[in-house]
Structure 1
Amino acid sequence: MQVHVGDVLRFTGRTVGTPEHHATVLEVLGRNGEPPYRVRYEDGHETEIYPGPGCLVENRPDHMAGAPRPHR
């Protein structure tokens, strides 16, 4: 999984009735766009995560053709 700052991570519900939630990538802490990521959820909560298998990436259009931004 490779993401860029500004991309959105979609977490799908793993059980019936569990709502999908989203987080915006604030910082890529791994190398070459890999985890961990610092993200902000819809409710404003910020944390560092290693996304699991139920996570989908919505890349920003301006990142689709470019290389991942470097980590800190």
Structure 2
Amino acid sequence: MKLEAGDRIIVESNKVGSPTRRGEVVEVLAEGDHPRYRVRWDDGHESVFTPGPDAHAEPAGSR
């Protein structure tokens, strides 16, 4: 998964009753085999995120 600042990330929950997480990529920290992104989640907090198989992206401007 290759993301750019401004793209949206959606992380589907694999637990019953847990909500889907959504956020915006603020910064690309690392690319390649082990990508890392700074994400501002819709609940307002930021974290460093490495996407797993439960994540997918919406490119900026596709909403």
Q: Structures share a fold, TM > 0.5?
A: yes
Q: Hey, which of these two has a bigger chunk of helix by percent?
A: 1
- The alignment's TM-score, normalised by the length of structure 2, stands at 0.83
Tell me which amino acid in the other structure corresponds to 1:7: D
Give the structure with higher Rg (CA). 1
Return the offset for 1:15: 2.2
Listed as ranges, the matches of 1:19-30 within 5 Å are 19-30=19-30
Return the offset for 1:35: 1.5
Question: Which segments of structure 1 move beyond 3 Å, counting only runs of 4 or more?
Answer: none
CA deviation digits over 1:14-47, x for unaligned, max 9?
A: 0222211101000001136x62000101111011
Distance in 2 of aligned mates of 1:43 and 1:60: 19
Listed as ranges, the matches of 1:46-57 within 5 Å are 46-57=46-57
Distance in 1 of aligned mates of 2:57 and 2:42: 15
CA RMSD of superposed structures (Å): 1.8
